[in-house]
Structure 1
Amino acid sequence: MPQPIILHHYDFSPFSEKVRLAFGLKGMEWHAVDVPVAMPKADLMPLTGGYRRAPVMQIGADVYCDTLLILREIERRRPEPSLYPGGRHGLAHALGYWVERTTFVPAAALATSVIGDQLPTEFIEERKTFMNHDFSKEASLRERPLNLQRLHAHLSWLAQMLEGGRPFLLGDRPSAADLAAYHTIWFARKNGGPTVEAALPLGPLLGWMDRVAALGHGTRREMPAGEALDIAKAAEPEAPGVPADGDPSGLRAGQEVVVSADDRGRDPIRGALVAADAEEVVIRHENGRVGAVHIHFPRAGFEVLAA
């Protein structure tokens, strides 16, 4: 019997919305494990070796971190309908990488300029340290003019991609690029309400956003965190789909390595290198609650160094 697809996420998370929409595009069934919005995350750390960002996808004893890699793995396991129509993987990855890196923090801060005083104090304080950004309402209001400048510039490019009646960014079919471009704007609109609606040039994007939202989230089943950990402990990691010694910098399988994000929230994740190539790295991590798991990371956005 195939292992269930488990998403460790929280509903408030914009990056989790990106993955939920991928499940909707493919009409998939998946299991939802809710994680706290801030540390401690006692039921997630055993699986991830210390990686705290949401979402994380688990399939048996394999754990996939970062939405860039999560979407690629979903595509590998369920090729149709494709997240990369016409085989345009590189274009979708590059477009998504650009738009998330440039719009996530400004969009989130625009939302917190409205709702920042409603967020838990522990959330605000953790993000100051983890992301080196103050999402309090007071700080977000101070930065609002600059964030509006930043978002207007990039949203205008998205609008240009949709000119001439193009329904989605890459053509007639939705793709991973649409999901990446959508979720940061979704977060700002959902939480900023009419204030954000009035401040951003959303008119040319609204029809496109409606089409992306209509993909839905597939079939969601709730799962307790303990059950997900038990599934990992009872399973064996799958054979990696990347070569053991394909690391472009010369790292070798079996070597102890440290993986960390290259932008913010650089928590080190330690383990033994299992496999690697130009796009993915897999490490082995062991914990008493889950046994041995393979943790997968994309290369873009992460650094891998010998321990």
Structure 2
Amino acid sequence: MTDLILHHYPSSPFSEKIRLILGYKKLPWKSVLIPPIMPKPDVIALTGGYRKTPVLQVGADIYCDTALICDVLEHVRADPTLYPPHLKGVCRIFAQWADTTLFWAAMGYNLQPRGAAHVFAKAPPDAAKAFSDDRKAMSSNLVRLRPGDATSAYRSYLRRIANMADEHDFLFGLEPCVADFAAYHGIWYTRQQVAPLADILNATPSVGEWAQRVEAIGHGPMTKLGAADAVALAAAADPMPPGANLLIDSAFQDDHGIPLGTRVTVTPETFGTEPTEGELIAATRTHYSLRRDDARVGTVHVHFPRLGYVLRAVAPA
């Protein structure tokens, strides 16, 4: 199999989710560090517009959104599984809640003024404003909690997670599943990136003990790769045919009246709503795939989950 290349940056919570899953599955991977904010010319060359972090590259196939990346990694190495058969539905639903509701409460708490001041304490004077402006641009369709409301919600969610962690080593049993990695990354940011605010975890010690167990999984065998090298690898590769890539479903599911071969855009619903345009080559029960051409990377296939994304046909010129 072609190398797994993760485009990420160290303080990205969703990147931490995937780094730990790579470690859990003991998959070797290559690390491409990308900027936390725009411009991201190498990322955009690969994705065609999508600019959220992380992105998984496998040759000339580009996988966007950690929910889809989890499915890819499960297909690459099914054991240990992220989706235990007796928990397949509930762990996916919990992970979706954790990636959205829990995450935004956690980050509303984490990046309140005191937390943001700590994050950018050693950065250049204009770094905090640049980051804030970038995230405001990404959040135009998102209703974000004010710090006080985020704090109240985060405390409540931590208590509920503690109820689960009191019962098992991991949230749903003796082994981790996708729910653990999805719940962990916002809490990881509290523990690792905004230490002055981490006292919110003191009221739920079992959450801290659970987080230590997740952290101990580690990131697995990683080697560094330059962004230009990753672009060159994509340019030199041919994307996998639809139905033969690292996503297990391939049957066409038409919920939009948009046939394959149509010029379309795929856009995140709420956060980072930059569209990616290309030719629709797959629309299955779980994902969309677009074929697109770029002067730097040649022909690539860019893949998105259905959930959380909007498919639209491009109006004729």
Cα deviation code 1:123-151 (max 9, x no counterpart): 111111212499xxxx99xx332111111
- In structure 2, the residue matched to 1:47 is 46
> Does residue 153 of structure 1 match 2:150?
no
The equivalent position to 1:299 in structure 2, one of 288, 306, 313, is 306
Which residue does 1:184 correspond to in 2?
186
| Distance in 2 separating the partners of 1:199 and 1:253 | 49
Deviation at 1:190, TM superposition (A): 1.4
CA apart distance, 1:260 = 0.6
Q: In the aligned structure 2, how far is the partner of 1:55 from the partner of 1:265?
A: 12
In 2, the alpha carbon distance for the partners of 1:251 and 1:133 equals 25
Q: What is the rounded CA distance, in whole Å, between the counterparts of 2:154 and 2:254 in structure 1?
A: 36
In 2, Cα distance between equivalents of 1:115 and 1:48: 31
Tell me which residue corresponds to 1:8: 7
Kindly tell me the number of residue pairs found equivalent between the two proteins.
Answer: 299
Deviation at 1:157? 1.9
Identify which of 282, 285, 295 aligns with 2:292: 285
Q: Is the 8 A contact 1:127 1:133 kept in 2?
A: no
Identity, in percent, stands at: 37
**Is the Cα–Cα contact under 8 Å of residues 155 and 200 in structure 2 kept in the other structure?**
no
Structure 1 unaligned residues grouped into runs of 5+: none
After TM superposition, the structure 1 stretch with the greater mean CA deviation from structure 2, 84-93 or 40-49, is 84-93
Aligned-residue CA RMSD (Å): 2.0
Structure 2, unpaired ranges of 5+? 244-248
Match of residue 232 from structure 2: 230
Find the aligned partners of 1:247 and 1:104 in 2 and give their Cα distance.
31
State the distance in 2 between where 1:201 and 1:240 align: 49
Deviation at 1:76, TM superposition (A): 0.3
- Equivalence for 2:115: 115
Which residue number corresponds to residue 63 of structure 1?
Answer: 62
1:9·1:16 contact (CA, 8 Å) conserved in 2?
yes
Moved over 6 A (4+): none
Distance 1:210 1:226 in 2: 35
Alignment of 1:132-281 (within 5 A): 132=140, 143-164=146-167, 166-198=168-200, 201-241=203-243, 242-243=249-250, 245-281=252-288
Offset of residue 278 of structure 1: 1.8
Q: What are the residue-to-residue correspondences of 1:66-105 with 2, within 5 Å?
A: 66-86=65-85, 88-105=87-104
2:252 touches 2:285 (CA, 8 Å); kept in 1? no
